[in-house]
Amino acid sequence: MTVAHLKQAAAEKAVEAVHSGMVVGLGTGSTAVFMVRAIGQLLQDGRLQHILGIPTSEATAREAERVGIPLTTLNEHPVIDVTIDGADEISPQLDLIKGLGGALLREKIVATASRRMIVVGDGSKKVARLGTRAPLPVEVIPFAQGPVQAYLASLGARPVLRVHNGVTFITDEGNIILDCHFDEGIDDPELIGQAIRQQPGVVEHGLFLGLAETAVVATNDTIEVLGKRLS
């Protein structure tokens, strides 16, 4: 199976946790798009009804509208029943690094507002220590780039401004992202997360700690459900 097929298998398995009448947080990225399409298909087939989605990015909102998922906002529905989203890294404790898709701020807001967060991915996302395969994205106000970059370096990171197609990447909220590389991974994610948030100009970081209660991970051999069962 290709990586895309594995992502699709994990996403479609996770959608088993979605039931009629729910408000659903819709994640962002190459794995989450399969989840959005699966929910759209279930709505078209009539197997799901009265679903409202809260998208974590403009891209996800466009895809949800394309497949027929009615959308709402956190102002109208401040409590979300379940959020399904991808991750860049998943630790054995189901702590995550997220944000390579550029939507970490809205993703964390939605995850925090959710009764339940389910993370989906292929087997390559499982790591023994966070920060060993993926950099840690940090969303930053453009005005503060210089001081924040120096501060992140003082914490042992190698921060790199994210560039896409030769142009500085700008988030949906108008901010930049500094991708922080840690040569040996992150020893204490909670400590690093707290330290990063202390610097003025930092909007949010991509450490999602204690938010996911279930992970659905697809490999060539099986689909693992880690943590709490889907239903």
27 and 41 part of one domain: yes
213 and 194 part of one domain: no
Confidence of residue 162 (pLDDT cuts 50, 70, 90): very high
Give the whole-angstrom CA distance, residue 3 versus residue 17: 23
- Phi and psi for 56 in degrees, rounded to 5? -95, 5
The pLDDT value given to residue 1: 77
Q: Rg of the chain over CA atoms, in angstroms? A: 17
The pLDDT value given to residue 221: 87
Neighbouring residues of 228: CB distance < 8 A, sequence distance ≥ 6? 213, 214
74 and 170 part of one domain: no
Residue 28, domain CATH: 3.40.50.1360
151 and 100 part of one domain: no
The pLDDT value given to residue 8: 95
Give the whole-angstrom CA distance, residue 217 versus residue 121: 5
Give the whole-angstrom CA distance, residue 170 versus residue 177: 7
53 and 91 part of one domain: yes
- Tens of pLDDT along 196-213? 999 999 999 999 999 999
193 CB-side CA count, 13 A: 16
Mean pLDDT over the full length of the chain: 97
The pLDDT value given to residue 190: 97
65 CB-side CA count, 13 A: 7
Question: Is residue 227 in a domain?
Answer: no
Catalytic residues: 107
Query: How many domains is the chain built from?
Result: 2
The pLDDT value given to residue 217: 97
pTM: 0.95
Contact 194, 152 (CB under 8 A): no
Residue 193, domain CATH: 3.30.70.260
Residue with tokens 């949906």: 172
44 and 117 part of one domain: yes
10 and 102 part of one domain: yes
Question: Is residue 228 in a domain?
Answer: no
pLDDT at 11 over 90: yes
50 and 85 part of one domain: yes
Residue numbers of the domain that contains 193? 136-203
9 and 116 part of one domain: yes
Contact 207, 96 (CB under 8 A): yes
- Tens of pLDDT along 50-102? 999 999 999 999 999 999 999 999 999 999 999 999 999 999 999 999 999 99
Give the whole-angstrom CA distance, residue 19 versus residue 80: 13
Question: Is residue 230 in a domain?
Answer: no
The stretch 42-48 carries a mean pLDDT of 97
Report the share of the chain in percent with pLDDT over 90: 98
**DSSP label at 126?**
B
The pLDDT value given to residue 206: 98
41 and 119 part of one domain: yes
Question: Is residue 66 in a domain?
Answer: yes
32 and 110 part of one domain: yes
Give the whole-angstrom CA distance, residue 126 versus residue 101: 18
